[in-house]
Amino acid sequence: MVYEIYLRSFADGNGDGVGDIAGVRARLPYLRDLGVDAIWLTPWYRSPMADGGYDVADYRDIDPLFGSLGDAEALIIEAHEHGLRVMIDIVPNHCSSQHPLFAAALAAGPGSAERARFWFRAGQGVAGELPPNDWQSMFGGPAWTRVIEPDGSPGEWYLHLFAAEQPDLNWDNPQVRAEFEDILRFWLDRGVDGFRIDVADFLVKDPDLPDAGALPPGVRRPWEDQDGLHEIYRSWRRLIDSYPGNRALLGEMWISPLTRLRPYLLGDQLHTAFNFGFLSAPWEPAALRGAIDTTLESIGAAAPWVLSNHDVYRHVTRYGRADTARIWWATEQVATDLALGTRRARAALLLSLALPGSSYLYQGEELGLWEVEDIPDNLIADPIYERTGHRVRGRDGCRVPLPWQAAAPGFGFGPPDAATPWLPQPAEWRRLAADTQAADPDSMLALYRAALRARATRRGLADDTLTWLESSDGVLAFSRASGFSCVVNLGAEPVPLPPHDELVLASGPLEGSLLPGDTAVWLLATAR
Ligand code: NOJ
């Protein structure tokens, strides 16, 4: 059970309105009591924050907004003392345009060894005024930006698959490889237990940089899942395996079909990779079952299940809409039934925690937080907003600072005299504050705690196989070893509960022996 901490929005220790390492340290007991095994921290490195820290200017230091290197070292030690392992984000596809290597590349000019660490190319057109190819940034607009050369003339273009402030590194360059292995060692030496590898599938590019616009959907893009990636992760695996303890490499790869993940997971590269098929599946039995089967076939027992993260609409909101599979990029506001979404989110928790593998919880989902869709325009920080000409508001709605205390200013995100949280919290979150929910046995937080406790006592659930049980339309039912089964009613009508000896947990009230719509249960049949 891994808990994702989006550092800027978790807890503010120093009162500047932005989450930080001190805030995390103060909340370690909360995480321990929640029942997670590990935390994953989004980037804490020195960064101009053009993309919330995914634009790294120094991989060996902490941004002053978050604290100091000493704070990070203390956090790792204290987390371990609480029995929590620590994963950190590593961002190898790109760095910040303010990274010294990029500054050196700009200064050194065309044809230099410094530029060879990135993807600099001459432009097309009569005077190089057009980008080198048709690649588009994941955040909107072209994936190339033209530079002004040291002599003041318009010059080469550089590749950035994300924002212009995030130049792509050239992983064909041995110095780039050596630099990152050294960075991994730097953090392994400080005790981190693993890395979540940001856009792990994008590092290697087809060196011909062919146009991609005309490729049919589903065909591998020239920047994703290239053969050369395997050698990089083999060498990372050798490196991480040379350290004591079971340390892990987790790839963030939005690869489809999921079977393409298999070659990375053969034991000599990544330990596991996110499976986003489950997160993107609609709230429908056949689609969810399909996503579960494909994941287990492709990733097996190392499957990480995710319902939300800092890049997608929170699932309380997703599941409360007509299109439950819409995870991002909406350009207009859609009607949301938050009560329905919350009921489904409760059921989805029991569903996902009953599956083989591991689970990644995104901060605030244990409080049932929803996507905030009315952030004032002038406060939107996600680069997607600017890069889409303000058409897409981006991901800030799932990054709003957490409500800890109902009665405190800023809902206790920071100390009593703290600056206002960097994004405004909805007033209705008062009733979702962690302290209020901790006292309510029917709250989302209570359900998370109970479910994590129940799962922790059944470690076999992580590894044992899953067997689908016959069930009526609209119902997902499967058993695991030791008589444990999970039944989810995704329909609107109540259905009879299958025979059982013990009800371990229900996501909502039952109607006698009937399981109401959008409700899940964990059942136990004692061996006879
Ligand atoms: C994936 C991260 O999760 C996202 O937040 C970031 O914007 C991109 N990678 C680029 O680093």
The rounded Å distance from CA 152 to ligand 1 centre is: 33
- The Cα–Cα gap between 24 and 20 comes to 7
Per the structure block, which two tokens stand in for 54? 């995914």
DSSP 483-498: TEEEEEE-SSS-EEPP
Alpha helices (runs of H) in 36-130, residue ranges in sequence order: 69-81, 100-108
DSSP letter at 110? T
Q: Read off the pLDDT band of 316 (50, 70, 90).
A: very high
List pLDDT tens digits, range 405-429: 999 999 999 999 999 999 999 999 9
Q: Cβ contacts of residue 386 below 8 Å, gap of 6+?
A: none
- Residue of 137, 162, 384 best suited for mutating to test ligand 1, as the one with most atoms within 8 Å of CB: 162
Residue 528: predicted pLDDT: 52
Helix (H) or strand (E) holding 158: strand 154-159
Average per-residue pLDDT for the chain: 96
Ligand 1 pocket check for 139: Cβ under 6 Å = no
The angle at the Cα of 256, spanning 251 to 257, to the nearest 5 degrees, equals 115
Residue 274: how many CA atoms within 13 Å on its side-chain side? 23
The answer on pLDDT for 26 being more than 90 is yes
Burial of 405: CB neighbours in 10 Å, binned 0-12, 13-18, 19+:
middle
Distance 88 CA to ligand 1 centre (A): 14
Q: Rounded distance, CA 463 to CA 305, Å? A: 14
pLDDT tens-place string over residues 197-242: 999 999 999 999 999 999 998 899 999 999 999 999 999 999 999 9
Ligand 1 pocket, mutate which of 87, 95, 198 (most atoms under 8 A from CB): 198
Mean pLDDT on 281-290? 98
Q: Is the pLDDT of residue 302 over 90?
A: no
Residue 198 Cα to ligand 1 midpoint, Å, equals 6
Mean pLDDT across the stretch 101-127? Answer: 98
Mutating to test ligand 1, I would choose from 51, 309, 329 the residue with most ligand atoms within 8 A of its C-beta, which is 51
For residues 340-348, average pLDDT: 98
Atom 2 of ligand 1: nearest residue by CA position: 198
In short, whether 198's Cβ falls inside 6 Å of ligand 1 is yes
| Cα–Cα dist 396/374, whole Å | 10
